[in-house]
Chain A
Amino acid sequence: MKNLFFGTNLIVTRGGRCLAKNLEFKIESGGMLLLNGENGSGKSTLLRIMAGLSKPTSGKIYWNNNDVHDNLSEHFERIVYVGHSTAIKSNLTIKENLKYWQKIHLGDKDKRGQLEHSLEIFNLTTSSNSPARFLSSGQSRKLALARLMLKPASLWLLDEPTVGLDAAGLRGLLTLLNNHCERGGIVVMASHDEVRVECPVHILKTDNCRKG
């Protein structure tokens, strides 16, 4: 089934201050939206809005013609959001961290061994039983991204996923992104780095408040 994720006439503000306005976007299954703009131009806030964590100051966001803010719990089912903060508990082991989120999202089932697989992709298998407090910031980022595989979601929302990643991590991320697109998933990503994915990429500029 083809999905369509689009937003109309969005205004993004933070603390009453306009960050971006007149935003329009439209992505189909298998596509990727790259948010482009300087620091403080509302990329993170826009991603939070897309996730349903915040409401847009004005404008609407739709999934297949349904306003996502009308039925948030349905929206939460189809997304994975990886924000700036990694949501990692330093006193849990790497595996426990992932296991917890898997349980919260899916109950207990791990049919396809996704957890092990996600550890492999990001090269975390050998250290999977050590506490997460030993992770470097790049490794923490990898662990946060490993969450992408725990839950079958059709929409990925990624806030600066490449920050701190080494070459291997970047390759892992690219593999994930390409697979996701191939399966008909949709990605929205804020990034300053160039990411060479194989799916059609749209670009959304988010810094038009200052110029206008």
Chain B
Amino acid sequence: MKKFLALVQRDLILVYRSANDAWVVLFFFVIAVTLFPLGIGPDPSMLQQFSGGIIWICALLSAMLSLDAVFQSDFDDGSLDQMMLTSYPLELLVLGKCFVHWLTTGFPILLISPVLATMLNMNLDSYSTLLITMLLGTPTISLMGGVGAALVLGSRLSGVLISLIILPLIIPILIFSVAAISASGEGMEISSAVKLLGALLIISSVFCPWATAATLRHLTN
């Protein structure tokens, strides 16, 4: 546990000292959301209908922007080799890195999303659902994105590539989240969608670190 915390602490310090990078992702999210009313028109009822989808699509794209960096710098400077050379399970170190990714991108996006929801005239009943889906969905993206980040390590154009391979795989998260948000706006039951999101989170928190660690071991040798 101490080792896990040491990694998380180091990565958080690193993010803090180059805080600009984290802000950039958040700004991208805000700007991307802003583009939608400009592109599809300011009609409040239309925006209300689309608000959940807009916020979620922009959250996905923002997460993609920052994912390829999860292992890149550790790979470049040799830290990744050193991390593999410990008897501490690589899976847990991977989990730590994904957690930091979530804490520095997914979580800030979650925090600011109600503000953007207001600007998009989201139905008041949907706010809590938006936050729940974000809370369950964005960590899943960081976990699945970790696998993608490991896969594109050392490739050309890794930034675009990771979107290309991960976005199709996280379509279910988008579908369930947006479905829950619109259902809550119409006063309908949201529990099945939320349960599915929770299931995806549980499955990926078990499966993804394992797959990521295996990929890292395979690819760096």
Contacts and interface: CB of A to CB of B under 8 A. Distances in A.
Interface of A: 48, 51-55, 73-74, 76-77, 79, 81, 83-89, 91-92, 96, 100-101, 103-105, 107-108
Interface string B1-32: 01100110010011001100000000000000
Contacts of A84: 78
A105 B13 CA distance: 19
A83 B76 CA distance: 12
A108 B81 contact: no
Contacts of A96: 10, 13
A121 B156 CA distance: 41
A76 B86 contact: yes
Nearest to B85: A76
Contacts of B3: 103-104, 107
Given A54-B221, A103-B6, 17 more contacts: A76-B85, A81-B82, A83-B81, A85-B77, A85-B78, A86-B77, A87-B79, A89-B73, A91-B13, A91-B17, A92-B14, A96-B10, A101-B82, A104-B3, A104-B7, A104-B83, A108-B2
Interface string B82-108: 111111100000000000000000000
A85 B2 contact: no
Interface of B: 2-3, 6-7, 10, 13-14, 17-18, 73, 76-79, 81-88, 220-221
A103 B13 contact: no
A55 B77 CA distance: 22
A87 B77 contact: yes
Contacts of A85: 76-78, 81
Contacts of A48: 81, 221
B85 A81 contact: yes
Contact of B85 (A79, A91, A92, A100): A79
Nearest to B217: A53
Contacts of B84: 53, 76
A55 B78 CA distance: 18
Contacts of A103: 2-3, 6
Contacts of B77: 85-89
A83 B78 contact: yes
The 5 closest A-B pairs by CB, nearest first: A85-B78, A103-B6, A54-B221, A87-B78, A73-B87
Contacts of A89: 10, 14, 73, 77, 79
A182 to B, nearest CB: 24
Interface centre among B18, B76, B79, B82 (most CB of A within 10 A): B82
22 contacts: A53-B81, A53-B84, A53-B220, A54-B221, A76-B85, A76-B86, A76-B87, A79-B85, A81-B82, A81-B85, A83-B78, A84-B78, A85-B77, A85-B81, A86-B78, A91-B17, A91-B18, A92-B10, A103-B3, A104-B82, A104-B88, A107-B2
A43 B185 CA distance: 64
Nearest to B5: A103
A53 B13 CA distance: 28
B14 A91 contact: yes
A86 B80 CA distance: 11
Nearest to B93: A104
Nearest to A101: B82
Contacts of B78: 83-87
